[in-house]
Structure formats: C-alpha cells, structure tokens
C-alpha cells in the first residue's frame, strides 16, 4: 500500500527532558552569511515570526510537541503532512507495506544532503532512526516501540521491520519522530545539536540566542527549495498579548500569533488576520488514581459541571468550538456520536456527587500554570455543580514534573494538540503509560480498540469507523475533560503574503515578504 495516509496531529506539550538552562545563550557561526531581507536568490524577504522557540533544536530530546513548528524549519522528516494533515512524500518519495503490515519500505529521493554537506542516504536515515529509538534519554523512543529493526537495503531504500502490524508509521514519521538528523553531527558532538541543529529542512539556523531570537537563512539544497520563496526567517518567543499588535505595527514582527481578544485591535491597526483551524484542544487532565476522582461518579460529574460554550465565549472570544473529544470536526477520528456528549448540567453533576457519597459537594484543587482567566471561570462553574475548588498556580516550567512525572495533582488545566498519528494520540492521552493519563489506568476494551486502529490499513474503508469507535469508547470510559478547540490565530503585516492554512504544522511554502 503506497503512501497510505490519515490525518495526524501535532502535539503541544511542555514536557519531559533536556530543555536548555535558563539564561543560556549560544551563537552559531553563519555558514554563508546571515539572512538578508530581499536577497536576490529567493526574492521573498525575511519573515519575522512571533511564535515560540524550541525547548531543544534536537528533535530526539525536544520536550514540547509545539516544538515541531520551529523544528520543521531546519529538519525534514521522511514524510510530511499536507494541508489536511495526511502523510505525503518528503525525504521519502514513496513507501509500501508488505502483506502482513509488519514491514514498511521507504524509498528516498536521490541526491539528498544535510546542511553540513554530508549525504542523506539510507544509511544516514537508519542511523538517525536508531538513535531516536535506542538512546536512553530519547523522548521519541516510545513512538518507535513497534520498530524492531531498521535496515538500509540500498542507497535510497530503508526498511522498518515491526513487531506487529502498524499502518500508522507513515503518519508517525511526519513529525519529530521522523525528522532525520545528520549522523556526522551527532557522531561528533551530539550535545551541540540542542543549539546547533544539522538537518535537511527549508532553512539553516545561523545564529541563536535562547529565549530571544533564532535567525535562519534559506537552504538551497532543501529537496523542495523551489517552493521556499523567503530568503530569511527569524523566530521569536510568544509575544505578550497586550503588546503584540504594537509590536507588529513597529515591525518587530511581521507575523505573530495573537489571542482572540486582540483580533479586533489587529484589524483596526490595518493588519491581516488569519484564523486557521488546528488540532489543539483545551483539556482538563484528571488523575483517576487520586481522590476524589478515584470514584467514577465524581469523574463523571466533572464532565457535566463545565459550561464549555461559556468558556469559548469568554476565554476564546468566540474563536473555537465546544468539544468533548480530542479530535475536531472534519478529522477522520472525530466521532459525531460523541458531539455534545456532556452538556452543561450542574443538577446532574450534583446528583452524581450525591450518589458518590458527597451530598454537600466535594473539595477539589484545580492546578494550573495559567495565572488568570480560565481557572477562575472554571472555579465559578464548578461551584454551581457542587465542586468547592481551590486554585493552585504552579510555574509552567515545573508543570510536567509535578503533574506528569510525579502524578501528584488530581486536576490540571492544559492543552492537547494530538500527535502525528491517531494511534499515537490515543497512547499519549489514554495509554497505560500515557503522558496525559496521570492515573495510568485504561480499560482493556479501550486498549484493544486502539490496537485495532494501528492494525487497520489507513486506506481501508473500515478505518474511519474503527478510529471513530475508539474515540467514542475513550471519551465514555476515560476521565479527561475536553473543553474546546483552539484555532491558530495569526496576524501579519500587509507586506506578508497569505500563509498556508495547514491544520497541523504551520508551513511557509510560497510565502513572501514585500
């Protein structure tokens, strides 16, 4: 089955691992000079993006799914995601499965090179994938658990042998897991990759100051270089919502993410605004192993205690949709039967709490890394349903350790943006070792349903219903409280052409800056 694909998802997580030390800075030597707006080679100017800087420029140790946006500037993966999120050729021009689904062969484009000039051939791909799946500190290794051997059978042929049928591999390898790193670079100084990436993406990083700015130039040896019109690229940390419009007007950025609260101001300032649907969904992570959610009735009561529509109106200024599941409408995994599954019903929530032995309500701590806004609105809603809630604010930098490593919190506000394959998203959210399943519990029938998703070919007519059935089962048996979708809202100067409206990773093919 060649080029089998299903819509995957990116992931936004400020997670485990080896983020750079606070205040550390690294400056890279510029190979061929710094980026220059308006350079004649591409003629597309320099884009200044107010977005986010990666936790690490090494995809194997990057600790946030959100990093995929920045990493995609300097790395290419074996596949990539089209505008709708389906896996399509990238470094690999084609792929095919054997009859059992336990072996997938990727055919590379000929003549590929890394930004350091070394060849990107089948041997390099093997070494890069093996590093990701075997390094003891790798954060992508769990996603490659079904891969038992990677073999370079020719200069441009790579074979992945699997422990079981898994048709999600092409989707999985479209993200950080499939980004190919130069073996010459990690063989010489692997630690340096955290600040000095060596890949084969559309741009090359020329200088980097942590928490301040990354400067990149166009990579003429990129496999799809003809589609990249920008000559330079600069990435900055997420702008302050209160100053982002002024920063765009001043030229500090010419593209930036803005909250819904700033859309009107951006338009009034003469900026162009694009609202791009994304896979991001706001969620409450529930630890079903901790009181009071070790009682299923209390966990179910929480689902009915939240007024999702009011949250969209207030927190998102109307940008987004109510959601009670991890996948948005239009995505193959979205289960229509689960729409509006948990309508706001504080009376029903109180009844469930009474049945659980809490007729006078229950005490609860809501942990968050958001200083204001969402926690207070949730606190007020939960009070109406009998949850007497105390808000505990923890630093964002410590959230992963506290919530997902120590498993010490019962309830946490978060956002989830899926993973590069649907099965991977299920594993993260609902797997027994799932990062966003701090209670480490999952019913056997859900585990079987997820296994069936991986074992079903993506081009099978049965795949949508198999995936949707798993979604429906998950939202009915797991405690995660999904709230609303979060679109990508980008404001840009009038000199910047329209941005591709990719649902998963923001891409920049064809974009120019006047």
Give the pLDDT score at 14: 29
How far apart CA 133 and CA 456 sit, in angstroms, is 23
95-107 mean pLDDT: 97
How many Cα atoms are found within 13 Å in the side-chain-facing hemisphere of 445? Answer: 10
CA-to-CA distance for 24 and 210, rounded, in angstroms? 6
Largest Cα separation within the chain, whole Å, is 72
10 pLDDT exceeds 80?
no
Tokens 């504080």 identify what position?
346
Better-scored residue on pLDDT, 139 or 345: 345
Taking a C-beta distance cutoff of 8 angstroms, is the pair 78, 90 a contact? yes
Give the rounded distance of the alpha carbon of 430 from its chain centre. 16
Phi-psi region of 188 (alpha: psi -120 to 50; beta: other; left: phi over 0): alpha
Output the average pLDDT for the chain.
89
- Name all domains of the chain by residue range, CATH numbers in brackets: 281-485 (3.10.105.10)
d(CA 64, CA 417): 11
Is residue 338 within 8 Å of 324, Cβ to Cβ? yes
The residue-averaged pLDDT of 2-26 equals 31
CA–CA gap between residue 206 and residue 235 (Å, rounded): 12
For the chain, the first-to-last Cα distance in angstroms comes to 43
Q: Which phi and psi (to 5°) does residue 273 adopt?
A: -125, 130
pLDDT of residue 30: 32
Contact in structure between 281 and 484 (CB atoms under 8 Å): yes
Angle among Cα 361, 363, 366 to the nearest 5 degrees reads: 125
Over residues 418-467, the pLDDT tens digits come to 777 888 889 889 988 887 888 989 999 999 999 999 999 988 999 999 99
Q: Helices in 296-455 by DSSP H: which ranges? A: 296-304, 308-315, 346-355, 374-384, 396-399, 422-430, 444-455
pTM greater than 0.85 (yes/no): no
How many residues can be counted in the chain?
Answer: 514
Residue pLDDT, tens place only, 282-322: 999 999 999 999 999 999 999 999 999 999 999 999 999 99
CB 66 within 8 A of CB 175: no
CA atoms of 403 and 163, how far apart (whole Å): 32
CB 384 within 8 A of CB 372: no
Do 313 and 354 touch, CB atoms closer than 8 A? no
Q: Please give the average per-residue pLDDT across 193-207, as a whole number.
A: 98
DSSP assignment string, 436-504: T-TT----HHHHHHHHHHHHS-TTSTTHHHHHHHHHHHHHHHS--EEEEE--EEEEE-TTBPPPP--SS
Burial class, 1, CB count within 10 angstroms (exposed 0-12 / middle 13-18 / buried 19+) = middle
**Residue 43: predicted pLDDT:** 59
Confidence band, pLDDT 50/70/90 cuts, at residue 31: very low
pLDDT digits (tens, 9 = 90+) for 357-406: 999 999 999 999 987 899 999 999 999 999 999 999 999 878 878 988 88
Distance CA 500, CA 171 (A): 20
User: Mind spelling out the 3-state secondary structure of 245-274?
Assistant: HHHHHHCCCCEEECCHHHHHHHHHCCCEEE
The rounded distance, in Å, linking the Cα atoms of 265 and 247 is 12
* Cβ-based burial of 100 (10 A; exposed 0-12, middle 13-18, buried ≥19): exposed
- Radius of gyration in angstroms for the set of CA atoms belonging to the chain, rounded to a whole number: 23
Q: What is the DSSP letter of 38?
A: T
Q: What pLDDT score does 433 carry?
A: 80
**Residue 84 pLDDT greater than 80, yes or no:** no
Q: Which helix (H) or strand (E) holds 80?
A: strand 79-81
Retrieve residue 453's tokens: 């998703």
Tell me what pLDDT residue 396 has: 81
- Answer yes or no: are the C-beta atoms of 185 and 198 closer than 8 Å: yes
Residue 270's region, left for phi above 0, alpha for psi from -120 to 50, else beta, is left
């Amino acid at each position: 089955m060649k080029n089998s694909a299903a819509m995957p998802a990116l992931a936004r997580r400020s997670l485990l691992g080896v983020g750079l030390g606070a205040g550390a800075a690294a400056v890279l030597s510029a190979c061929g000079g710094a980026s220059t707006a308006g350079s004649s080679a591409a003629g597309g100017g320099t884009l200044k993006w107010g977005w986010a800087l990666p936790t690490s420029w090494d995809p194997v140790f990057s600790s946030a799914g959100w990093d995929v946006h920045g990493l995609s500037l300097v790395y290419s993966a074996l596949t990539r995601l089209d505008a709708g999120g389906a896996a399509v050729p990238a470094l690999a021009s084609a792929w095919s499965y054997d009859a059992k689904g336990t072996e997938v062969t990727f055919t590379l484009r000929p003549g590929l090179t890394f930004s350091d000039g070394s060849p990107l051939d089948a041997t390099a791909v093997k070494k890069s994938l093996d590093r990701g799946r075997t390094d003891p500190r790798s954060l992508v290794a769990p996603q490659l658990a079904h891969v038992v051997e990677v073999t370079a059978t020719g200069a441009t042929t790579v074979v992945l042998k699997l422990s079981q049928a898994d048709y999600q591999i092409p989707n999985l390898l479209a993200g950080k897991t499939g980004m190919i790193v130069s073996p010459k670079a990690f063989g010489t100084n692997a630690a340096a990759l955290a600040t000095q990436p060596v890949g084969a993406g559309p741009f090359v990083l020329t200088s980097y100051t942590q928490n301040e700015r990354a400067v990149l130039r166009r990579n003429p040896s990129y496999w799809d270089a003809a589609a990249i019109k920008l000559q330079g690229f600069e990435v900055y940390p997420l702008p302050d919502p209160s100053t982002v419009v002024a920063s765009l007007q001043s030229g500090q950025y010419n593209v930036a993410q803005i909250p819904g609260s700033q859309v009107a101001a951006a338009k009034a300032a003469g900026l162009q605004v694009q609202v791009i649907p994304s896979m991001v969904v706001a969620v409450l992570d529930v630890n079903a192993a901790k009181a009071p959610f070790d009682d299923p009735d209390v966990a179910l009561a929480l689902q009915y205690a939240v007024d999702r529509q009011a949250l969209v109106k207030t927190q998102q200024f109307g940008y987004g949709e109510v959601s009670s599941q991890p996948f948005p409408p239009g995505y193959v995994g979205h289960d229509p039967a689960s729409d509006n599954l948990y309508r706001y019903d504080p009376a029903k929530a109180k009844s469930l709490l009474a049945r659980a032995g809490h007729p006078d309500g229950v005490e609860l701590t809501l942990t968050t890394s958001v200083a204001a806004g969402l926690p207070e609105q949730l606190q007020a809603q939960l009070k109406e349903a009998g949850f007497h809630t105390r808000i505990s604010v923890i630093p964002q930098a410590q959230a992963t350790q506290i919530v997902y490593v120590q498993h010490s919190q019962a309830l946490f506000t978060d956002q989830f943006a899926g993973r590069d394959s649907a099965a991977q998203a299920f594993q993260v959210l609902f797997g027994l070792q799932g990062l966003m399943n701090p209670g480490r519990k999952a019913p056997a029938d859900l585990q079987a349903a997820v296994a069936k998703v991986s074992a079903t070919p993506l081009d099978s007519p049965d795949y949508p219903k198999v995936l949707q059935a798993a979604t429906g089962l998950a939202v009915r048996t797991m405690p995660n409280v999904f709230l609303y979708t979060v679109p990508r809202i980008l404001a840009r100067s009038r000199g910047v052409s329209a941005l591709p409206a990719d649902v998963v990773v923001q891409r920049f093919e064809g974009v120019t800056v006047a």
